[in-house]
Amino acid sequence: MSKAEEHAYADAEIRKRLEDELPHWRLEEGWIRRTYRTQGWKGTLMVINTIGHLAEAAWHHPDLTASYAWVEVRLQTHTAKGITDKDFQLAKKIEDVVMWQPGKEGAALEGTPADDQRFAYIKYDK
């Protein structure tokens, strides 16, 4: 998408799309944001690296803030001076990958052992 084609959404449109498409994300200070909770530093690094890979592949780069057991993602299209389809699409991809729970699919990918905290890394939304 060229810069000329970027459309920055109004706040009301952004809030509606977040409510409909990304309920764990919020609009705050001109950014769409999401905080992922982890079980500790290992999980935090895994989330950061996942987001980094997706963002680099999409050529759209979020701002990240991290601590021991959480990562905050902030998305905004600087060239459009607002939130565009790029932000929504990257947010959806991040959400899909970070919150994926293979054990819930009932397939060969069973997921990490739920009863052993040594393997826990993401605090999944309920």
- Coil, strand, or helix at residue 7? coil
CATH architecture of the region 8-99: 2-Layer Sandwich (3.30)
Report yes or no on whether pTM surpasses 0.85.
yes
Candidates 40, 36, 39, 16; CA nearest to 97 is: 36
Give domain limits for the chain.
Answer: 8-99
Residue 114's closest CA among 125, 105, 103, 99?
103
How far apart CA 34 and CA 47 sit, in angstroms, is: 12
As a whole number, mean pLDDT of residues 2-23 equals: 89
Residue type, 48: I
* Confidence at residue 3, expressed as pLDDT on a 0 to 100 scale: 54
pLDDT tens digits, residue range 46-88? Answer: 999 999 999 999 999 999 999 999 999 999 999 999 999 999 9
